[in-house]
């Protein structure tokens, strides 16, 4: 039976193609905001990092009322590191809006999200966005989108639906059109097409209750909140329900509160019917994939599988000589408590304390996935240190397997040879190459180990003229040793502030990471040498003063601006014997063993030949 008063629609797209802006336009068109209300742009990107990075990190649900129909809109992440969100929330949808930039066409991560939508048998409606931008070619973007759907195995029915249901939009200007130049200046053609053409939920209103939890929210007051779609029956506030876990175990629970989505918020209600999306309070330790069903007539639903984490990082309490100067929260106990709280909220991460209690291991889907957590913690006032990201291997039939990624680079044809060389040195294999007059499209298969630090090398050899994306593909055979960072580090030999005179003499020997006046400590990485082998340096050395003056004495030292690392770049840069120190305002890199004596002892004990002085 079709629930004709509800539509469940996911919006999927590549990063920065305008998903969240399009939702803003739909909300304004349906009078979601009261007259005169001050509304920030991209209202769904409520997280500070989402607004700064320009990406969606967490999936969110809103609902819109239009022509008597409730449209549940699911805003999904476009970045592969947050694929755990994408896979699950698509289970709540019956159709999807594929949003494509009219100038860029489908981009590599459009492929990642669209593959999941097609596999979930969703009907896909294509929205060609940014038709007003310079270089826009809506017809070409549409053809590329249809070709991509074909490549990803879309059925004839899905392709036919997509060809017949196309909307051309400028989300930032608030209009949607059935033809690029029809002159319409509002969003109603898009809303009309969703209501008239997108499939309504096909459900059994009178059957036994069946609801599956696909997203977890958390409240300090009521604990975990299970959010999911109701597939059959009706759920009431106060109902006693059966909870079936992914492993088949069963427990009874009582619904203490029930909510549905209402524009930008949630509305408490006494019941919710099949086809709608609801939030349930009262299920102890509820988890992704839990099925809430009728105890007398239980319904079985397919368990939800999430791609496993591919990288792990160990969080430790900071042991830096400067600890406590910048952050308020520095203790190991507080760090552990914060990460265990994250385990409650973030089911796509695996968070476990190390057996020796020295730190907490956090496993996620990629560098960005892990760095978003670190960035959130440093903004909360935490100081901590983390080691080099470690790839998670697994064994099958006695063979060691490692995660393999599909990487895509688009660059100027003159740089393609250098890009291929960089990938070859990192263990990558080219799988496709398409050369145009202005751009070369390169595709590679490369172990996740080889991806770390690759972006900066690609940007260097292409002079910043490259677009680089990568997505997890599969677990493949271990690819052997992959070359690590070639150049050695400059390591501070003392705990003092850096002096311009000392830096002036050091910049001829490599690239500096610090500026005059920066606080440094013994064991801190202050630069990179232009040759292999680490080198301890004195960053506080000043000029000897005498009673003689020379003609050049008063000429100021000319320093090149230091290289500044983002959190992701620092994590990709460090080696196994190094750490990243994270504080609210600083990101520093350091050796795990701070003194040169300790490093020499370690090298002797482990049979290493350490060229600590170049």
Alpha helices in 452-491 (DSSP H): 454-461
Q: Are 429 and 446 in contact (CB under 8 A)?
A: yes
d(CA 489, CA 512): 10
The answer to whether 21 is annotated as binding is yes
DSSP-assigned letter for residue 34: -
Q: What are 119's two structure tokens? A: 């596999």
The answer to whether 110 is annotated as binding is no
For the four alpha carbons of 497, 499, 500 and 503, in that order, the dihedral sign comes to negative
d(CA 461, CA 430): 17
CA proximity to 110, closest of 152, 52, 60, 74: 152
The answer to whether 91 is annotated as binding is no
On the CB side of 602, CA atoms within 13 Å amount to 13
Q: Are 440 and 433 in contact (CB under 8 A)?
A: yes
Q: For the beta carbon of residue 567, count every other beta carbon within 10 angstroms.
A: 19
Alpha helices in 104-171 (DSSP H): 108-119, 138-151, 156-164
Q: Determine the length of the chain.
A: 614
The answer to whether 20 is annotated as binding is yes
The answer to whether 18 is annotated as binding is yes
Alpha helices in 352-403 (DSSP H): 367-379
The answer to whether 129 is annotated as binding is yes
For the four alpha carbons of 520, 522, 525 and 526, in that order, the dihedral sign comes to positive
What is the SS3 assignment for 291?
Answer: strand
The answer to whether 611 is annotated as binding is no
d(CA 186, CA 177): 8
d(CA 351, CA 312): 9
The answer to whether 246 is annotated as binding is no
The answer to whether 395 is annotated as binding is no
d(CA 358, CA 555): 50
Q: What are 354's two structure tokens? A: 């190390």
Where does residue 54 rank: exposed (0-12), middle (13-18), buried (19+ CB within 10 A)? exposed
Annotated binding residues for GTP, as ranges? 16-21, 129-132
Q: Which segments are annotated as binding site?
A: 16-21, 129-132
């Amino acid at each position: 039976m079709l629930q004709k008063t509800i539509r469940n629609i996911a919006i999927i797209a590549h990063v920065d193609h305008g998903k969240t802006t399009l939702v803003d336009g739909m909300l304004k068109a349906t009078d979601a905001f009261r007259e005169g209300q001050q509304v920030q742009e991209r209202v769904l990107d409520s997280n500070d990092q989402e607004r700064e990075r320009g990406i969606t990190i967490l999936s969110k649900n809103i609902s819109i009322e239009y022509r008597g129909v409730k449209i549940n809109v699911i805003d999904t992440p476009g970045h592969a590191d947050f694929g755990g969100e994408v896979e699950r929330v698509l289970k709540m949808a019956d159709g999807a809006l594929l949003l494509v930039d009219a100038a860029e066409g489908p981009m590599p991560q459009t492929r990642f999200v669209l593959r999941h939508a097609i596999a979930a048998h969703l009907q896909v409606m294509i929205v060609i966005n940014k038709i007003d931008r310079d270089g826009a070619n809506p017809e070409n973007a549409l053809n590329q989108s249809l070709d991509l759907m074909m490549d990803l195995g879309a059925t004839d029915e899905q392709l036919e639906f997509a060809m017949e249901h196309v909307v051309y939009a400028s989300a930032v200007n608030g209009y949607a059109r059935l033809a690029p130049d029809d002159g319409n200046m509002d969003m109603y053609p898009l809303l009309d097409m969703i209501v008239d053409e997108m499939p309504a939920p096909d459900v059994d209103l009178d059957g036994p209750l069946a609801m599956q939890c696909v997203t977890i929210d958390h409240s300090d007051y009521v604990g975990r909140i299970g959010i999911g779609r109701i597939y059959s029956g009706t759920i009431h506030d106060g109902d006693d329900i059966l909870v079936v876990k992914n492993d088949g175990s069963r427990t009874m629970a009582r619904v203490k509160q029930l909510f549905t989505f209402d524009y930008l918020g949630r509305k408490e209600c006494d019941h919710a019917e099949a086809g709608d999306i609801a939030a349930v309070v009262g299920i102890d330790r509820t988890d992704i994939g839990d099925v809430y069903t009728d105890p007398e007539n239980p319904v079985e639903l397919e368990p939800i599988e999430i791609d496993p984490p591919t990288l792990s990082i160990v969080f430790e309490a900071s042991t830096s000589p400067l600890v406590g100067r910048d952050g308020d929260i520095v203790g190991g106990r507080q760090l552990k408590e914060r990460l265990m709280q994250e385990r409650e909220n973030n089911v796509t991460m695996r968070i476990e304390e190390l057996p020796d209690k020295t730190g907490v291991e956090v496993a996620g889907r990629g560098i960005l996935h892990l760095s978003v957590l670190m960035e959130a913690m440093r903004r909360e006032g935490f100081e901590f240190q983390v080691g080099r990201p470690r790839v998670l291997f697994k064994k099958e039939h006695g063979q060691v397997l490692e995660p393999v990624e599909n990487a895509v680079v688009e660059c100027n044809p003159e740089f393609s040879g250098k890009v291929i060389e960089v990938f070859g040195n990192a263990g990558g294999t080219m799988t496709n190459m398409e050369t145009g007059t202005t751009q070369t499209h390169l595709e590679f298969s490369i172990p996740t180990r080889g991806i770390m630090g690759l972006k900066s090398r690609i940007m260097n050899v292409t002079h910043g003229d490259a677009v680089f994306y990568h997505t997890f593909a599969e677990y493949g055979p271990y690819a052997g040793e992959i070359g690590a960072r070639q150049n050695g580090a400059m390591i501070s030999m003392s705990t003092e502030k850096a002096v311009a005179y000392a830096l002036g003499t050091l910049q001829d020997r490599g690239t500096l990471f610090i500026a005059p006046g920066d606080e440094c400590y013994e064991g801190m990485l202050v630069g990179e040498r232009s040759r292999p082998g680490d080198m301890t340096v004195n960053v506080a050395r000043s000029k000897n003063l005498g009673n003689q003056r020379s003609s050049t004495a008063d000429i100021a030292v000319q320093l090149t601006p230091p290289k500044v690392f983002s959190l992701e770049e620092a994590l990709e840069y460090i080696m196994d014997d190094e750490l990243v120190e994270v504080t609210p305002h600083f990101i520093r890199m350091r050796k795990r063993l701070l003194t040169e004596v300790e490093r020499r002892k370690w090298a002797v004990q482990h049979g290493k030949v350490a060229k600590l002085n170049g």
